[in-house]
Amino acid sequence: GNSVTQMEGPVTLSEEAFLTINCTYTATGYPSLFWYVQYPGEGLQLLLKATKADDKGSNKGFEATYRKETTSFHLEKGSVQVSDSAVYFCALDLRGADGLTFGKGTHLIIQP
Amino acid sequence: KAGVTQTPRYLIKTRGQQVTLSCSPISGHRSVSWYQQTPGQGLQFLFEYFSETQRNKGNFPGRFSGRQFSNSRSEMNVSTLELGDSALYLCASSSGLAESTDTQYFGPGTRLTVL
């Protein structure tokens, strides 16, 4: 079956530090890949996406590159802020079959 | 453009009761998917509706059901509630087209507590 693996954390960093959250996937086809973010008490917000190999998604300083050879979609940001504290979910979509498959989520805490 | 809306935001029910949750998708979107989020199991896919028909279904018991109306609004029903049904229920809408660029946009969720 399809699956997504990501570090669960919590991951604690100081403000302005470099961020990497690893995400690897297993899929029976060629999925689209997503990062969603969830702030306390809220639903999921789309952060970025990539739909084919070597695509780079980017938004609000966050980036992730679809690496087919390593089946990975690692999330990076050069300088994090306190406001980036949230839970980040990596997900894959195989054209709607069985919905989105999510990782367990990574709780990110940024300290001032 | 208005986002996905879900009502109610919070619900408290007792075991054995039933509950109905509502979701209004983004205007123009024809697909609505439902997910259950719990601390133990994470985010799990319940089902997807497209043009008033259930198109995909996750691995949940028959107590969980849904429907979609002609205006694409969707409802989810859980009958004979169990303590383990306590969760955040998230609705997501998308165009529903079989394209790699199709993206699901989520609502704020309904927090269901079963006592």
Q: What is the pLDDT of residue B111?
A: 97
CA distance B99 to A68: 19
Alpha-carbon distance B78 to B68, whole Å? 15
pLDDT band at A1 (very low <50, low <70, confident <90, very high): confident
Tokens for A94, please give them: 């195989």
Cβ contacts (< 8 Å) between A96 and chain B: which residues? 31, 48, 55-56, 94, 96, 98, 102
Q: Judge whether B31 is closer than 8 Å to chain A, CB to CB.
A: yes
In chain A, % of residues over pLDDT 90: 85
With beta carbons less than 8 A apart as the criterion, state whether B14 and B80 touch: no
The predicted-structure confidence for A46-98, as pLDDT tens digits, reads as follows 999 999 999 999 999 999 999 999 999 999 999 999 999 999 999 999 875 77
The residue type found at A80 is V
The 8-class DSSP code of residue B26 comes to P
Q: Quick one: residue B57, left, alpha or beta (phi over 0 = left, psi -120 to 50 = alpha)? A: beta
Task: Choose from A44, A54, A66, A101 for mutation: most chain B CBs within 10 A.
Answer: A44
Average pLDDT, stretch B48-76?
Answer: 95
In the A/B pair of chains, how many CB contacts fall below 8 A?
66
